[in-house]
């Protein structure tokens, strides 16, 4: 059963859309759009499947002329015919429509049979045109493929005779392509268009064809070459160029000219220290300069009969340090920039596979409009089915964002999961979407995508979404998509959302555990330190006090009743201390029976300290416990945690020294008490510094 062709009707009048739909529905699959933006969004998602657009001129949001302008910018007008159906009869309207690429202009009211035949004829004519274009494109692509195959065959004959790995030519092509693209993005000095880049990449396969004339016993000698043998090897570059010069019927072919440059001069060096002609600097064509680096890199990282393979890191170091000759400094910068990416590309590309970039380049050179055959549409439909199936199985939400039309397209399963539409125009203005994904997070993600590069395209971040009223953590993984010209801004971004709630919750629990004391659930010493430092930095009009508390008789509790009872007392003491302080205060356990309190105040700090002291002292399950407290004030005694802690610790020591069960503010008289006591060898209990555990 033949699939019906799709026709998009874009008209703000529902009755007009209904009339046209009734006419076309028996023979076509009809899509409808109530305004220009909806029409663009529909084409954004299905432009490869739409056979015809019927377009009104006067519509909200985007009128018919604006829709045609967007279709021109995106190239859709080359593959989708447009019929204007409008009540506007002005010649200026009609002329402008045709200038923008409309195939037909039909005035309302129209005759039902006539419009059906004009639509049918337009679809048939365009279908035949597309069929002819596909035939031409396939012939051109087949010719390009044949050329590449012949180049590969010839280069692999040389490679086989040379006893190399069989991947040398592929590696040279890969490295050459990566370096040329980086060079093109770095400067415009060498006029490296995408087509020129593809040509040099293809020609690089022929760099060593001159080796076919070198005796095999020299080519594959496992040991070091003699001086005479090396001189023979060096002749291969000139011989390769002479072989190409002998192609008398193809001297004007650009591929032959570039291949000759590469063959003859890919052993030249930037300082003139190469061969065969001793060229210097940019006397050496950029094609040969790039292949020279590619050849050296692959020679170093590949196993040969006379040496083992070096690692990527060793090869990079040797090339950048000048151990393999002097190269163009600009190319060395490019090599450094793409180092990690290059290593990965060389590993993953396999013989017999053409790269995606190569396909794009060939397709662009073959035809400038995007045309698909029925066979391709079948494959696309199969891919879409697989895509939807995997999305539902993996519980991932896939999305695609168009920068030009500001349209967000969400996968069918993902849209249902999130409770939003599959296609959203101007997502930053969509209330339903913003209730799920905040505007701030959306802008953050867009900034990350804008900072991505073709060498480092992947961005990821964790954001909190509110799905069906419940907040959940999702990990976003996305990347921009560039056109043929990678120097131009990206046209789209694609990505997916993976539910990260369980992992994030576990991380939060672990973080919470690390921030709190296991026994008392008060803040841990280190986390309290961090929070107090942050508070002190932002301390403005307020003042602050740091209190260090010590249970006077706790050692006797442990000795008399055991550690379990001691732990119970510590928990009770911590709970009483927590209830006595304010929500804005910081409370922590900093040692066995020692606690810390940080509080900010405006006046009457004495009353606050006295209230804490009188509350925490007293009877605990039949055991009388007294507390000693030392307090330091900011900014009087210091403005950092370390300064305040040291002063409070000295004040605590003064309280203990004065008979315990009391509290004291730090003053200068206490400055040397603790240090002099620590120098006394008879003192067994030594105080600790703020950073001790």
The whole-angstrom separation of Cα 169 and Cα 346 is 11
The whole-angstrom separation of Cα 677 and Cα 662 is 20
Strand partners of residue 10: 33, 55
Whether residue 628 lies inside any domain: the answer is yes
Q: Are residues 200 and 339 in the same domain?
A: yes
The whole-angstrom separation of Cα 577 and Cα 591 is 15
The catalytically annotated residue of 56, 585, 593, 649 is 593
- From the list 582, 614, 611, the residue with the least C-alpha distance to 599 is 582
Q: Rounded to 5 degrees, what are φ and ψ at 488?
A: -75, 160
The larger pLDDT score, comparing residue 432 to residue 155, is at 432
pLDDT beyond 90 at 630: yes
Q: Are residues 523 and 658 in the same domain?
A: yes
Domain boundary among 487, 507, 527: 507
Average pLDDT over every residue of 339-343 = 84
- At 273 the pLDDT is 92
Question: Between the ranges 116-130, 133-147, 225-239, where is the mean pLDDT highest?
Answer: 225-239
CATH number of the domain bearing residue 649: 3.30.70.270
Q: Are residues 350 and 211 in the same domain?
A: yes
The whole-angstrom separation of Cα 616 and Cα 662 is 12
- Mean pLDDT, the chain, integer: 80
264-290 per-residue burial string, b: 16 or more CB within 10 A, e: under 16: bbbbbbbeeebbbeebeeeebbbbbbb
pLDDT beyond 90 at 562: no
The whole-angstrom separation of Cα 55 and Cα 33 is 10
For the ranges 29-33, 108-112, 220-224, 682-686, which has the lowest average pLDDT?
A: 682-686
pLDDT beyond 90 at 489: no
Whether residue 130 lies inside any domain: the answer is no
Domain boundary among 93, 110, 127: 110
Whether residue 378 lies inside any domain: the answer is no
Whether residue 121 lies inside any domain: the answer is no
Q: Are residues 503 and 523 in the same domain?
A: no
Whether residue 688 lies inside any domain: the answer is no
- At 333 the pLDDT is 93
Whether residue 639 lies inside any domain: the answer is yes
The whole-angstrom separation of Cα 366 and Cα 380 is 21
Strand partners of residue 568: none
How would residue 596 be classed by pLDDT, with cut points 50, 70 and 90? very high
Contact 447, 478 (CB under 8 A): no
Average pLDDT over every residue of 580-593 = 88
pLDDT beyond 80 at 328: yes
The whole-angstrom separation of Cα 430 and Cα 280 is 60
Q: Are residues 502 and 581 in the same domain?
A: no
The larger pLDDT score, comparing residue 271 to residue 119, is at 271
Q: Are residues 96 and 148 in the same domain?
A: no
pLDDT beyond 80 at 533: yes
pLDDT beyond 80 at 685: no
Q: Are strands 104-107 and 407-410 parallel, antiparallel or unpaired?
A: unpaired
- At 651 the pLDDT is 92
Question: Between the ranges 1-5, 304-308, 366-370, 409-413, where is the mean pLDDT highest?
Answer: 409-413
Alpha helices in 367-483 (DSSP H): 374-394, 412-418, 431-436, 439-450
Whether residue 101 lies inside any domain: the answer is yes
Q: Are residues 487 and 526 in the same domain?
A: no
- At 485 the pLDDT is 66
| Span 472-482, pLDDT tens digits | 888 888 898 88
Percent of the chain past pLDDT 70, that is, above it, reads 81
- At 245 the pLDDT is 81
Question: Between the ranges 508-517, 588-597, 619-628, 665-674, where is the mean pLDDT highest?
Answer: 588-597
The larger pLDDT score, comparing residue 500 to residue 117, is at 117
CATH number of the domain bearing residue 204: 1.10.3210.10
- At 367 the pLDDT is 39
Whether residue 69 lies inside any domain: the answer is yes
Q: Are residues 588 and 610 in the same domain?
A: yes
Question: Between the ranges 50-54, 300-304, 346-350, 514-518, where is the mean pLDDT highest?
Answer: 50-54
Q: Are residues 61 and 174 in the same domain?
A: no
Q: Are residues 503 and 521 in the same domain?
A: no
Specify the residue for token string 């004291």. 664
Two tokens at 255? 């591929």
The whole-angstrom separation of Cα 659 and Cα 58 is 93
The whole-angstrom separation of Cα 467 and Cα 319 is 53
Q: Residue 593: how many CB atoms within 10 A of its CB?
A: 20
Residues written for the chain: 693
pLDDT beyond 50 at 516: yes
The whole-angstrom separation of Cα 30 and Cα 596 is 73
Count of domains forming the chain: 4
Two tokens at 240? 């390769």
- At 161 the pLDDT is 47
Q: Are residues 258 and 321 in the same domain?
A: yes
Two tokens at 693? 């555990």
The larger pLDDT score, comparing residue 431 to residue 153, is at 431
- At 394 the pLDDT is 59
| Span 208-265, pLDDT tens digits | 888 877 887 887 777 788 888 888 888 888 888 888 887 766 677 888 889 899 999 9
How would residue 557 be classed by pLDDT, with cut points 50, 70 and 90? confident
Domain boundary among 507, 534, 553: 507
Residue 275's alpha-carbon distances to 72, 173, 559, in angstroms, are: 51, 22, 89
- From the list 68, 51, 56, 71, the residue with the least C-alpha distance to 120 is 51
- From the list 359, 319, 355, the residue with the least C-alpha distance to 338 is 319
pLDDT beyond 50 at 689: no
Q: Are residues 316 and 342 in the same domain?
A: yes
The larger pLDDT score, comparing residue 663 to residue 153, is at 663
CATH number of the domain bearing residue 479: 3.30.450.20
pLDDT beyond 60 at 378: no
pLDDT beyond 70 at 403: yes
- Domain boundaries, position 20: 6-110
| Span 503-514, pLDDT tens digits | 666 666 666 666
**Active-site residue, 593 included:** yes
Percent of the chain past pLDDT 90, that is, above it, reads 18
Strand partners of residue 7: 30, 52
pLDDT beyond 60 at 615: yes
């Amino acid at each position: 059963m033949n699939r019906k062709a799709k026709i998009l009707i874009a008209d703000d009048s529902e009755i007009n859309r209904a009339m046209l739909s009734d006419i076309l529905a028996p023979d076509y699959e009809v899509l409808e759009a109530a305004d220009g933006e909806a029409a663009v969004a529909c084409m954004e998602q299905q432009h490869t499947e739409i056979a015809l657009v019927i377009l009104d001129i006067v519509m909200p949001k985007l009128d018919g002329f604006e829709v045609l302008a967007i279709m021109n910018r995106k190239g859709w007008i080359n593959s989708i015919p447009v019929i204007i159906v409008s009540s506007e009869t002005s010649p200026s309207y009609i002329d402008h429509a045709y200038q923008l690429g409309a195939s037909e202009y039909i005035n309302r009211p129209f005759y039902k049979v006539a419009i059906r035949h004009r639509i049918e004829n337009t679809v048939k004519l365009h279908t035949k045109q597309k069929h002819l274009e596909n035939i031409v494109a396939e012939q051109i692509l087949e010719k390009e493929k044949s050329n590449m195959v012949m180049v590969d065959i010839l280069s692999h004959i040389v490679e086989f005779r040379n006893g190399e790995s069989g991947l040398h030519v592929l590696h040279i092509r890969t490295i050459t392509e990566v370096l040329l693209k980086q060079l093109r993005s770095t400067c415009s000095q060498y006029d490296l268009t995408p087509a020129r880049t593809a040509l040099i990449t293809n020609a690089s396969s022929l760099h060593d064809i001159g080796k076919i004339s070198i005796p095999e016993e020299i080519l594959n000698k496992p040991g070091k070459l003699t001086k005479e043998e090396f001189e023979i090897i060096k002749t291969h570059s000139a011989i390769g160029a002479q072989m190409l010069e002998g192609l008398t019927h193809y001297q004007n072919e650009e591929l032959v000219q570039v291949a000759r440059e590469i063959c003859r001069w890919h052993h030249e060096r930037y300082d003139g220290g190469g061969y065969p002609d001793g060229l210097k600097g940019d006397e050496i064509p950029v094609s040969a300069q790039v292949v020279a680096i590619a050849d050296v890199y692959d020679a170093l990282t590949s196993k040969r009969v006379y040496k083992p393979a070096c690692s990527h890191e060793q090869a990079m170091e040797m090339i950048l340090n000048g151990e393999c000759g002097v190269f163009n400094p600009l190319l060395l910068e490019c090599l450094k920039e793409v180092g990690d990416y290059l290593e990965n590309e060389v590993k993953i590309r396999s013989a017999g596979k053409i790269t995606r970039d190569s396909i794009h380049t060939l397709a662009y050179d073959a035809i400038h409009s995007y045309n698909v055959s029925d066979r391709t549409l079948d494959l696309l439909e199969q891919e879409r089915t697989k895509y939807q199936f995997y999305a539902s199985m993996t519980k991932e939400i896939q999305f695609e964002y168009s920068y030009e039309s500001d349209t967000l397209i969400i996968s069918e399963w993902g849209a249902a999961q999130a409770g939003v539409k599959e296609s959203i125009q101007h997502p930053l203005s969509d209330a339903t979407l913003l209730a799920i994904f905040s505007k701030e997070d959306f802008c953050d993600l867009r900034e990350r995508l804008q900072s991505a590069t073709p060498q480092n395209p992947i961005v990821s971040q964790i954001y909190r979404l509110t799905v069906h009223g419940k907040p959940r953590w999702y990990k976003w993984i996305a990347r921009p998509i560039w056109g043929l010209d990678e120097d131009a801004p990206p046209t789209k971004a694609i990505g997916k959302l993976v539910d990260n709630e369980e992992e994030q919750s576990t991380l939060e629990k672990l973080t919470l555990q690390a921030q709190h004391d296991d026994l008392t659930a008060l803040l841990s010493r280190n986390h309290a330190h961090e929070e107090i430092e942050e508070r002190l930095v932002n301390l403005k009009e307020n003042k602050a006090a740091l209190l260090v508390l010590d249970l006077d008789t706790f050692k006797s509790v442990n000795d008399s009743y055991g550690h379990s009872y001691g732990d119970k007392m510590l928990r009770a003491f911590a709970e009483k201390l927590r209830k006595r302080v304010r929500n804005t205060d910081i409370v922590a356990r900093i040692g066995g029976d020692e606690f810390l309190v940080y509080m900010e105040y405006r006046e009457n700090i004495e009353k606050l300290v006295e209230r804490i002291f009188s509350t925490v002292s007293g009877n605990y399950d039949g055991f009388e416990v007294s507390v000693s407290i030392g307090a330091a004030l900011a900014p009087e005694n210091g403005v950092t945690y370390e300064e305040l802690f040291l002063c409070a610790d000295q004040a605590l020591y003064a309280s203990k020294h004065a008979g315990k069960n009391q509290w004291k503010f730090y003053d200068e008289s206490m400055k040397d008490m603790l240090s002099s006591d620590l120098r006394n060898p008879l003192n067994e209990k030594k105080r600790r510094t703020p950073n001790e555990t």
